[in-house]
Chain A
Amino acid sequence: DAGVIQSPRHEVTEMGQEVTLRCKPISGHDYLFWYRQTMMRGLELLIYFNNNVPIDDSGMPEDRFSAKMPNASFSTLKIQPSEPRDSAVYFCASSWTGGNTIYFGEGSWLTVV
């Protein structure tokens, strides 16, 4: 099993630019989560999907952030326009109904300058 795959692994972008982070969950998993990790706030749940439908997006910080899951094997997290305070590690994770654990990708390390 390839695990949860995220891209890009690292991105440096200028303030105001659009950033798109991508995630491929583990095959067969029907839950997908997006987390953000910062020194100040730790790990925060941004949004999660079940069967490609957003279930809870209460953690999305503001309208500049959006997430989609067009099919069971792909999700995107978009930031437009990006700001320096968006600099963080963004993790995608997946799990399946009846499972007890959530599996994380290696993260996308975003720096906005």
Chain B
Amino acid sequence: GEDVEQSLFLSVREGDSSVINCTYTDSSSTYLYWYKQEPGAGLQLLTYIFSNMDMKQDQRLTVLLNKKDKHLSLRIADTQTGDSAIYFCAISKGGGADGLTFGKGTHLIIQP
């Protein structure tokens, strides 16, 4: 299987919470990231978590890490139309000194 796997699409209603999931294979990954890509734009770093953490919260974003199951999730509270984008999960062993391995991305679709 792929090193990092994500579902391709997620559809949610405006105002609801979105939960984007990611699984990975390399248990030695020490940094785990979420990037956002809007149409025609580059990759914007949303947040990241160290492997020794279980949870990180940043305003509307909550990242949960289950190391045992090698599962990472991103929850977006009160989803807005501006959240419509592709969300990429990425892993790294060395943080800024190592290349990232990306999932294929999850297209978040917001229904009015």
Interface set of A (CB-CB < 8 Å, partner B): 31, 33, 42-43, 45, 48, 50, 56, 91, 93, 95-107, 109
Closest to A59 in B: B99
Cβ contact of B42, chosen from A42, A97, A104, cutoff 8 A? A104
Min CB distance B46 to A, Å, is 11
Q: Is the interface of A mostly helix, strand, loop or mixed?
A: strand
Chain B residues with Cβ under 8 A from A50's Cβ? 97
Q: State whether the Cβ of B88 lies closer than 8 Å to any Cβ in chain A.
A: yes
Q: How far is the CA of A104 from the CA of B99 in the complex (A)?
A: 12
Q: Are B41 and A96 in contact (CB under 8 A)?
A: no
With contacts A100-B31, A106-B42 taken as known, whether A42 is within 8 angstroms of B97 at the C-beta atoms is no
Interface set of B (CB-CB < 8 Å, partner A): 31, 33, 35, 40-45, 48, 50, 88, 92, 95-97, 99-105
Q: How far is the CA of A103 from the CA of B35 in the complex (A)?
A: 10
Min CB distance B100 to A, Å, is 6
Cβ contact of A45, chosen from B42, B95, B100, cutoff 8 A? B100
Closest to A94 in B: B96
Q: How far is the CA of A50 from the CA of B99 in the complex (A)?
A: 11
Chain B residues with Cβ under 8 A from A106's Cβ? 41-42
Chain A residues with Cβ under 8 A from B42's Cβ? 91, 104-107
Q: Are A43 and B88 in contact (CB under 8 A)?
A: yes
Min CB distance A34 to B, Å, is 10
Q: How far is the CA of A5 from the CA of B111 in the complex (A)?
A: 34
With contacts A42-B102, A42-B105 taken as known, whether A97 is within 8 angstroms of B97 at the C-beta atoms is yes
Closest to B47 in A: A101
With contacts A42-B104, A43-B88 taken as known, whether A104 is within 8 angstroms of B43 at the C-beta atoms is yes
Q: Which of B31, B88, B102, B105 has the most CB of A within 10 A?
A: B102
